[in-house]
Amino acid sequence: MIRSMRSMQVRTGANGILPGTAVGTQAAFIGIGANTTRMSANVTSVAANTVYLLTVAVGNPIDHNPGDVFLRLTINGSDLATTTIPPTSIPEGTFTDFSVALGPFAPNDSKIGGTLGIQLGMSDPTAIPGLIADFDNVRLTATVPEPAGALLVALCFAIRARQPRRLLYQLRRVS
């Protein structure tokens, strides 16, 4: 569900844009009615040698407490990377960024070409009604890491090996 800034003003006391790392004047929220509640979306196809980083501004409203919030990255519906955020890690009345990463995968990995999905959710084993977590500023970045530092070191050694060697010491001439 999406809430407008008007309802957030009552909840956070803010008089303008959303607080913390949130962006804009709207946020999604999850209110728990069962042990686990989530929202999800499929976003792209998995590429080789790529690291995916999901970063989300998670809010803790003043008038309700969140349960354990989770951020997940999935491939073809299977959970492959999860970060669980306990309610005590989310400051009250503001939004804070949390992240989860996945990858890279080798070009011959069976996951390449699969559907990458994101899940935002909350769980509470006691299913206490009234738990609410807010979500905003959802960002998924895909980066291809630079070649490993070992490759650079090997290149330096190869260049050094081609240079003429200098004699580090000289033998004394005996007359």
User: Is 172 contained in some domain?
Assistant: no
For the record, the structure tokens of 78 come out as 């299977």
Q: What percent of the chain has pLDDT over 70?
A: 59
Q: Which domain holds residue 88?
A: 2-146
Smallest CA-to-CA distance from 38 within 7, 69, 6, 77 is with 69
133 within 8 A of 66, measured Cβ to Cβ: yes
- Domain of 111, CATH number, reads 2.60.120.260
Is the pLDDT at 156 greater than 80? The verdict is no
The highest-confidence range among 66-70, 78-82, 151-155, by mean pLDDT, is 78-82
Q: Which pTM does this prediction carry?
A: 0.69
User: Is 159 contained in some domain?
Assistant: no
Work out how many domains the chain is built from and give that number.
1
pLDDT in tens, 101-136: 999 999 999 999 999 999 988 887 666 666 777 888
